[in-house]
Chains A and B, each alone.
Chain A
Amino acid sequence: MFESGKNRARLRPGSRSFTNKRLSGHAPIINDSAPLLQVAGLQKSYNTPVLVDFNFDLRAGEVHALVGSNGAGKSTFVRILCGLTAGDGGELSLCGHDFHPKSRREAERSGVVMVVQELNVIATLTIAENLFLNRLPRRCGFVRAAELRVKAVQALARVGLAELDPTRLAGQLGVGYQQLVEIAGALARDCRLLILDEPTAALTDPEIERLFENIRRLQTEGVGIIYISHRMDEIHRLANRITVMRDGWHIATHEAGDVTPAELIREMAGHDLPERRNVRVPAGGEVALSVRHLRAGGRVRDVSFQARRGEILGLAGLVGSGRTETLRAIFGADSMDGGEILVEGSAVVIRSPADAVRAGIGLAPEDRKQDGLLMTQSIRVNITLATVRQHAGKCGWLDGRAEARTAEKFSQRLQVHGASLEQAVGELSGGNQQKVVLARWLARDCGILLFDEPTRGVDVATKDTIYQLLRDLAEARKAVVVVSSELTELMLICDRLLVMSMGRITAEFLAGEWTQEKITRAAFGGHFEQGEGAG
C-alpha cells in the first residue's frame, strides 16, 4: 500500500517554492474566509518517513488537486484526514478547530468523507442499503423501508441518478454506476470536505461529465474537495489549485492557471540522481523472452517487449498502469486475453504457473503473504517448494538430506537470517521473507526471472543484498525483469527500462539515456493526449 523507503537523502528537493497568490477568476465561487482545512508540519513515518513537514490548506468551495508519483505520500495524507491512520506530529485544523480523527466514523461525523479508488459496494445489497449502510433508518431494529427509499432517491438525485431504482441490487450495476453510487453515498452524509482518490479510473466519458457536474455543484455549496488523480486533463479542468508532493515533501502549490503539465511533471520527478554505478557490459545477449501484443483483464491492453539474457530489464509506471498484471499474465497467474509469448524463440502456451515454470519462467510475486509464502511452514519447506520433486525418486519418496542441503545452500547464498532452517517463515522479518521467496526461484534455476517489487517492505541492508543478487543473476546469463514503484531503484539496477502507462508501453530507455523527468513524463504519458508524452 505504501511505497516506502526511497533514497531520501539524495532526493531531498532543493527548492520548496510556495506560490500562494490569490486565485484567478478561473474558478467558481470561492469563499475568501479562513481555510476549511489547515495542515501544518504534518509528519508520518513507517520505518521510513512518508510525510515530512507537510503543509496544506483547503478553502471552502475549492477543488484542490494533489499530484505526485508513486509513494509521494498522497494516500497517507488522506488516510490521516479520514482517521484511518494517525500522524506522528503536526497541526491539523478543520474550520479553525483542532482535528485529529481517531476513526473513519469520527472523521465522517466531522464532515470529512472519502471515496476510495477500490469499490466498496456490497453487490448483494440494494442500492439504497449500500447508500445508508451504517445509518439505516430503523425502528426497534426493523429497517423503515419507505423512509430509506425516499432518502435514497434524494441521494441519487444529487448525483443525477434520479432515474435509478434504489431497490435494485447494487451488483447489477456497471462499475461506473457503482462508483457514482459510492459518491452519492458520500454526499448523502453531511459532507464539508470530500476526498476523491482517482474517482474516474472506472468511469466512461459521459459518467465523468456527470461526476464533474456534481463536483461543480458541490463547490457552489461550499464543500471543499481534495482531488487525487494522475490524469492531467482532469486536473486542469477541475482544480483551482494544485499541490505537488514528492517523497512525503510538499514541493509546490500552484494556482491552476499558472502552471503547465510539463512543469508539474518536472516537479513530481524532482532532480536527477548523480550518475549511477558503472554501466555493465551492454546487454547483447540473445532474446530469452519475447512478449507480443499481450492483453489481459483490462489492465494490460497491448504490451510487447523482449528480454535478453544477461540483462536486467526494468518495468516502470504508476500504480495501476498494468505492470504487475503484465508479469502475472506472462506467468499464467492470470489468464491472457490475447497475444503471444515466446521463450528462447519458440511460442509457448501458458495457461497456469505450472506451464510457465515448465517453460523456465519464475515469478517472485508482489504480495508475498498471499501468493508467495507458506507462513506457518519452515524456511526449508518454503525454499524447496518449487524443487521438492527433484529431491524425490520416481515413487515420490523424499530424499530429506538432499532437500536440506538445497535449502541450506540457497539460504546461505541469500543470507537468510533465521534461528534455523526449521523456523517458520512467519516469524521472520519482511526482508528475510523476501529472501526466502527469491531463494525458492534460485533453487529452481529458471532462465527467465520476473521480480515484482522485490524490495517492498524490505530494510536497506537487504535491499543491497537483493540488488547484488539481481546483478549476479544477470551475470549468470539469466533474463531478469524487475517491476518496481521506486524509480531510483530501477535507475540504479537496470540496463534497460520500459515505461508503462494505462496498459501500454509508452517509452523505452537504455541505461544512461534516462532522467527521472523523462521517465515520469512517459509514465503520465497515457494521461495526456495519446503519444505526446512518449520519449
Chain B
Amino acid sequence: MKSQSSKTTEYTAMLVIWLGLVLLFGMLSHNFLSARTFAALANRIPALVVVAAGMTLVLIIGGIDLSAGSVVGLCGSVLGVAMTDYHLSFWAGTMICLGIGLAAGALNGAISVCLGIPSFIVTLGMLEVARGLAYLTTHSQTKYIGGEVEGLSGPIHGLGVSPAFFISILVIVAGQMALTRTVFGRYLIAIGTNESAVRMAGINPKPPKIAVFALLGFLSGLAGVFYTSRLGSSDPNAGAGLELSAIAAVVIGGTSLMGGRGSVVNTFFGVLIIATLEAGLAQVGATEPAKRVVTGGVIVAAVILDAWRRDLQSVNRSS
C-alpha cells in the first residue's frame, strides 16, 4: 500500500541523516567509530527515548507536556526514598514510581481536557509542582542507593548494551504499533487533525486525550527509574530540561506541533541524532556552550528541511 512505502522511505531518510552524522564525526575523530562509542550512546539515551516516545503521542493530538522532566525527577526521588528510607525492594519501588508517573500524567490530562485549559499551562504548573515535590520527598538531597538499581542500566555481559536500552526499544515498537495499528492510535491522529470532526463522527474525544497524557506520565516514571539506576542514586534535579530535549527529538523526527501527523520510530531517530551530535561534538573537543549552540541550530534546521520536503511532496503529488 502507498502509505506503507512512503513510511519506509521516511524511515530511510532519517536513517541516512543519522548515518551521515556518524560518518562525519568518524572522519573528524578516529576514536569515534568504535563499539565503545555506540555502547555508551545506547546506554545514555533510554530515559530520553521513552519520554520522547510518549511526547510524540501528546504532540500528535496537538497537546504538549512541559512537566515530563520534573515528573522524571519526582519519580526518581520517590524510588530513592522508598529504597533507602523504607527499605523496599527495587521492584516495589519501581511499581510505586510508575504509579506516581501515571497519576501525574492523568492529572495533567484530566485538568486540561475536562476543564478545557491549554495543556501548555496545565503542564507548566505541573513542572513546578512535581519538581517541588521531588525536593520535598528527598529533602533536597541526593540519595545513594547502590548496586541494587544499577543492573538495569549496566551493560549486559557480552552485549555491551543495557537492559534499559532494550526496554526503550520495546517502548518505541509498542508506541509505533499503537499509533498505526490500533483504534486508539487512529483516534489520536484524527483528534490532532480535526477534533470537531471527530466529535461529529460520534466519538467522544476526551478519554483518548486523557489517556495520552497518562501514558506520557507513566513513561516519565519509567524514565525516572532509568535515571536513578544509571546514577546509582536518586537526584531530585534529575531530568531537568529533559522535556525540551524530548520535544526537540520529536520535532526532528517530523512530528507536527500542530498535531495530526507523526511517527514514534522517527522520534527514535530524532533522539539518536541529538545524542550522536552531542557525543560527536564532545569527541572533537567542542565545549559545552558550543555544543548547545550547534544542537539548537540543528533542531531548527531539521524542522526547516522537513517543511521543505513536505512542500515538495505536495507539489509532486498535485502535478
Contacts and interface: CB of A to CB of B under 8 A. Distances in A.
B196 A370 contact: yes
B230 interface: no
Contacts of A376: 193, 260-261
Interface string A340-353: 00000000000011
A386 B201 contact: yes
Q: Which DSSP category, helix, strand, loop or mixed, fits chain A's interface? A: mixed
Contacts of A458: none
Contact of B203 (A363, A365, A370, A386): A386
A513 interface: no
Interface string B161-201: 00000000000000000000111101101100110111111
Interface stretch (A158-166, A393-401, A515-523): A393-401
A116 interface: no
A512 to B, nearest CB: 35
B194 A353 contact: no
A41 B233 CA distance: 85
A371 B182 contact: no
Interface in A177-222: none
A404 B197 CA distance: 21
A372 B197 contact: yes
A171 B189 CA distance: 36
B182 A357 contact: no
Contacts of B3: 378, 422
B27 interface: no
A353 B199 contact: yes
B62 to A, nearest CB: 12
B183 A396 contact: yes
Contacts of A444: 202
A371 B183 contact: no
Given A376-B193, A392-B183, A427 B317 contact: yes
B1 interface: yes
B9 interface: no
Interface in B1-40: 1-3
B200 A353 contact: yes
B186 A373 contact: no
A374 interface: yes
Contacts of A371: 196-197, 200
B318 interface: yes
29 contacts: A331-B200, A333-B200, A352-B204, A353-B200, A353-B201, A354-B199, A354-B202, A354-B203, A357-B201, A362-B202, A370-B194, A371-B197, A374-B197, A374-B198, A374-B260, A375-B193, A376-B261, A377-B190, A381-B186, A385-B190, A385-B197, A388-B187, A389-B183, A392-B183, A396-B183, A397-B181, A398-B183, A422-B2, A440-B201
Closest 3 CB pairs of A and B: A357-B202, A374-B193, A422-B2
Given A377-B260, A440-B201, 17 more contacts: A333-B200, A353-B202, A365-B200, A370-B194, A371-B196, A372-B197, A374-B194, A374-B198, A374-B260, A385-B198, A388-B186, A388-B187, A398-B181, A422-B1, A422-B3, A427-B318, A444-B202
Interface of A: 331, 333, 352-354, 356-358, 362-363, 365, 370-378, 381, 385-386, 388-389, 392, 395-398, 400, 404, 420, 422, 427, 440, 444
